[in-house]
Amino acid sequence: MANPGRTPWVRAYRHAYGGVLDGLLNQSPHQPPNRCTAVMACRWADRVEFRRLLLTPLDSPFVASITLITHTNMTHIVCVSAFTTEPPVGDASAAFTDRRPATAPLVGGLLRDAIANMVVGEAR
């Protein structure tokens, strides 16, 4: 895994923007949401819920995923980050959308524009 990339963590309200994050967190981990190929879900010490949503097919040349984390003390806030093994292109200081051009639309397809822009727009 040469050159993996991850966006900074973004905090978003669970029910904002049409409840897209709430829908992803309430979806059964046994049934991946549309545009996902797999889900990994776990809970740490009954305080933190973690979900990783795989965005790429299993035979893809790179892996792209979105991670969602909630804490039982703040269930209305979701921490969101995108991860990819897509080889970077362009200048190292360019935005995530320019450095990882195949991954950025996958993030937008699942999270919808408002949240996706917060996630990939923050990465530099």
pLDDT one-digit tens code per residue, 46-77: 789 999 999 999 899 999 999 999 998 888 99
**Distance between CA 47 and CA 103 in Å, rounded?**
30
Q: Domain span at residue 50?
A: 19-122
Q: Is residue 96 part of a domain?
A: yes
* 1 pLDDT above the threshold of 70: no
Which ranges in 1-124 belong to alpha helices (H)?
20-26, 96-99, 103-122
Q: Is residue 91 part of a domain?
A: yes
Read off φ and ψ for residue 84, nearest 5 degrees. Answer: -150, 155
Q: What is the pTM assigned to this prediction?
A: 0.89
**Distance between CA 124 and CA 121 in Å, rounded?**
8
* 124 pLDDT above the threshold of 80: no
Count of domains for the chain: 1
* Average confidence (pLDDT) over 106-119: 88
Instruction: Summarize pLDDT for 78-94 with one digit per residue, the tens.
Output: 999 999 999 999 888 88
Q: Is residue 38 part of a domain?
A: yes
Q: Is residue 55 part of a domain?
A: yes
* Average confidence (pLDDT) over 15-24: 92
- Give, in order, the Cα–Cα distances in Å from 58 to each of 2, 37, 54, 55: 18, 7, 9, 9
Contact (CB, 8 A) for 70 and 49: yes
